[in-house]
Amino acid sequence: MPAPSALLQFAPIVVIFGIFYLLLFLPMQKQKKALAKMLSELKNGDSVVTTGGIVGTITAVDKDTITLRVKPNEVKLQFARSAVSALVTSEGSK
């Protein structure tokens, strides 16, 4: 009985790496692109959530920083633009 070729021995490993790429890495790249687009489109008046869980309204946008107005005392806090994790939609603020 002849031994299987080296290509056939490595085929399952190549298939597994292909599945990992399609299921893990491709969705992560899409999510990273969507986050970068959202961060580049931030503007005054947007309600956002930071990575620390602080919810506020943007009052100023600079190149690398944003200033948020946070309730209840209308305190203004400055954050790195990359600290924003999500926009708060009108349905989420009810």
Q: Find the CATH number of the domain harbouring 70.
A: 2.30.30
Is residue 36 located within the same domain as residue 48? no
Q: For residue 93, is pLDDT > 50?
A: no
Selection from 49, 78, 84 nearest residue 65 by Cα? 78
Question: CB of 56 within 8 A of CB of 77?
Answer: yes
Is residue 37 located within the same domain as residue 48? no
Q: How does the average pLDDT of the chain come out, rounded?
A: 90
Number of domains in the chain: 2
Instruction: State what percent of residues in the chain have pLDDT above 90.
Output: 78
CA torsion through residues 83, 28, 37, 64, sign:
positive
Q: For residue 94, is pLDDT > 60?
A: no
Structure pTM? Answer: 0.70
DSSP lists the bridge partners of residue 48 as 56, 87
Is residue 47 located within the same domain as residue 14? no
Is residue 48 located within the same domain as residue 93? yes
In Å, the largest CA–CA distance within the chain is: 81
SS3 88: coil
Is residue 86 located within the same domain as residue 55? yes
Is residue 47 located within the same domain as residue 18? no
pLDDT tens digits, 54-86: 999 999 999 999 999 999 999 999 999 999 999
Pull the structure tokens for residue 24.
């893990």
SS3 22: helix
Is residue 35 located within the same domain as residue 3? yes
Residue 6: domain span: 1-41
